[in-house]
Amino acid sequence: MRSTRRELLKLMAATGGALTASGLLISRTSTTSSAADAVPVADQMRLAPLVTPFQTAMPIPPVLRPVSVTSTTDTYVLPIKQASAEILPGTSTPVLTYGGTFPGPTIKARSGRRTVVRQVNQIADGTSMHLHGAVVDPANDGGPMDLIAPGASRTYTYTNQQVAATLWYHDHAHHVEAEHVYRGMSGLYLISDSNEASLPLPRGSYDVPVVVRDIGLNEDGTLYFDHLFNSRPQILVNGKPQPYFQVAARKYRLRILNGSNQRPFEFRLSTGDEFVQIASDRGLLSAPYTTTSVPLSPAERADIVVDFSRYPVGTSVVLKNSYFPAPGTEDIVRFDVVRTADDPSSVPARLAELPPTAAPTATRAFSLEFDDTTGDGTINGKLWDENRVDTTVRAGDTEIWEITNTHPFIPHNFHIHLVDFRVLDINGKPPTPGEAGLKDTVRVQAGETVRILVSFKYPHYGRYYYHCHLIDHSSMGMMANLDIVRA
Ligand code: C2O
Ligand code: CU
Ligand code: CU
pLDDT digits over 34-60, tens only? 333 333 444 456 899 999 999 999 999
Which one, of 163, 89, 79, lies nearest residue 122 by Cα? 79
What is the average pLDDT value for the chain, to the nearest integer? 91
Whether 453 is in a domain gets the answer yes
Residues 228 and 281 in one domain: yes
415: Cβ below 6 Å to ligand 1?
A: yes
The SS3 call for residue 435 is helix
CA of 142 to the centre of ligand 2 (A): 9
Residues 229 and 169 in one domain: no
Whether 125 is in a domain gets the answer yes
The residue out of 305, 340, 375 marking a domain boundary is 340
Residues 179 and 283 in one domain: no
Residues 109 and 162 in one domain: yes
Task: Quote the Cα angle for 55-301-11, to 5°.
Answer: 70
Residues 244 and 313 in one domain: yes
Residues 126 and 89 in one domain: yes
Residues 256 and 384 in one domain: no
The residue out of 310, 340, 370 marking a domain boundary is 340
Residues 369 and 470 in one domain: yes
Q: How far apart are CA 389 and CA 377, in angstroms?
A: 18
Which one, of 290, 236, 240, 202, lies nearest residue 57 by Cα? 240
Per-residue model confidence (pLDDT) at position 116 = 98
Per-residue model confidence (pLDDT) at position 82 = 98
Per-residue model confidence (pLDDT) at position 44 = 54
CA of 405 to the centre of ligand 3 (A): 9
Whether 273 is in a domain gets the answer yes
Local structure of residue 261 (DSSP, 8 states) = S
Ligand nearest 299 Cα, by number?
Answer: 1
Whether 128 is in a domain gets the answer yes
Q: How far apart are CA 104 and CA 116, in angstroms?
A: 16
Local structure of residue 259 (DSSP, 8 states) = -
Residues 98 and 182 in one domain: yes
Q: 159-195, pLDDT tens digit by residue?
A: 999 999 999 999 999 999 999 999 999 999 999 999 9
Which one, of 95, 239, 86, lies nearest residue 180 by Cα? 95
Residues 208 and 285 in one domain: yes
Q: How many distinct helices (H) and strands (E) make up the chain?
A: 7, 32
CB-CB contact of 258 with 300 (8 Å): yes
Whether 61 is in a domain gets the answer no
Residues 220 and 336 in one domain: yes
Whether 396 is in a domain gets the answer yes
132: Cβ below 6 Å to ligand 1?
A: yes
The residue out of 178, 198, 218 marking a domain boundary is 198
170: Cβ below 6 Å to ligand 1?
A: yes
Whether 355 is in a domain gets the answer no
Q: Which residues contact 356 (CB under 8 A, 6 or more apart)?
A: none
Give 373's pLDDT tier (boundaries 50, 70, 90): confident
Number of domains making up the chain: 4
Q: Which domain holds residue 100?
A: 68-198
Backbone Cα Rg of the chain = 21
232: Cβ below 6 Å to ligand 1?
A: no
Give the lowest-confidence range in 24-33, 150-159, 342-351, 353-362. 24-33
Per-residue pLDDT for 70 more than 70?
Answer: yes
Whether 346 is in a domain gets the answer no
Residues 97 and 130 in one domain: yes
Q: How far apart are CA 366 and CA 378, in angstroms?
A: 10
pTM assigned to the model: 0.92
Query: What does DSSP say about strands 275-280 and 265-269: parallel, antiparallel, or unpaired?
Result: unpaired
Domain of residue 262, CATH code: 2.60.40.420
